[in-house]
Amino acid sequence: MFKIGDFSRLATTSIRMLRYYDKIKLLTPAIIDEATGYRYYTAAQLSQINKIKKLKDMGFSLAIIKELVAIEQDPRQVENYLKTREKELQVELDELNQQQNLLKSSLKLVKEDELEMDYHVSVKLIPARHVISVRRILTSYHEEGQLWKIVGKALNEYQLKPENPSYSLAIFRDEEYKDEDVDVEIQMAISETDPLKTNVFEIKKSPSIKVASVMMNGSYDQLPAVNEAVAKWFEVTGEKLKGPMFNIYHVSPGQDANPVNWVTEVCYPLNKK
């Protein structure tokens, strides 16, 4: 079971929206503690929330999504809904190109068995290291590249040498998933040097951390499926999520523009035992 805050981060859905889904009976908590009022969710519910999010991205209203969720076991009815929406998107093509592409890919999935990638979860210790760190509140996650430009400039100006491996990573510091004004910290391991804090960046020692990690090859569109696989692993193993999740970039968009070649290690902090 996951508390609403942990589930929010795994589902990349705000607590406010989860409570609204509960209110309209679209996605209700598995358990509500009568004594405390705390809401608890299961790993299986990540599959439900990911379907809801995908249907929302296609432009379906929540009322229609409730209908689709109710008939999801009938592929023909679902396909009829999707084809109707496809015709609507043709009319709105200029504004809704992205939604049309999502719809077409979803129509293909309706006609095929659902495919599940096998994401292997491993437990490892990320060693302590000296890092250059930049932390900012960003308008959206897409602006993370701005932080790496700051790091690149600081490396040159202060003649800092990246370690190998560099453990180039992004930590998502918010207590819950947010669509905007997101708190992101990036770090890169560098050769040992004196601590330094400027208005732009900080050099500090980052402690070792025990994590559950998954190697993800390709586009970040896989993240919902990775989170779902890891949530199931947490439930099976009894491990507890401890702290904000982060990504280690082995091959990043800055190194290769082709998403097929991206290699990202998605890390979930654990309690040290």
More confident call, 193 vs 209: 209
In a domain, 87, yes or no: no
Q: Is pLDDT of 169 > 80?
A: yes
Side-chain-side CA neighbours of 46 within 13 Å: the count stands at 24
In a domain, 209, yes or no: yes
Helix (H) or strand (E) run with residue 106 in it: helix 97-111
Kindly report, residue by residue over 126-164, the tens digit of the pLDDT: 999 999 999 999 999 999 999 999 999 999 999 999 999
CA 93/CA 87 separation, integer angstroms: 10
Q: Tell me, rounded to whole angstroms, the distance of Cα 256 from its chain centroid.
A: 21
Under DSSP, the state recorded for 134 is E
In a domain, 105, yes or no: no
Mean pLDDT of the chain: 90
DSSP SS3 for 168 = coil
CA separation (Å) from 165 to 168, 189, 270? 8, 8, 22
Residues spanned by the domain of 126: 121-269
Whichever domain contains 27, its CATH number is: 1.10.1660.10
More confident call, 71 vs 41: 41
In a domain, 142, yes or no: yes
The whole model's pTM is what?
0.71
Q: Is pLDDT of 109 > 50?
A: no
Q: Are residues 67 and 186 in the same domain?
A: no
Cα R_g (the chain), whole angstroms: 21
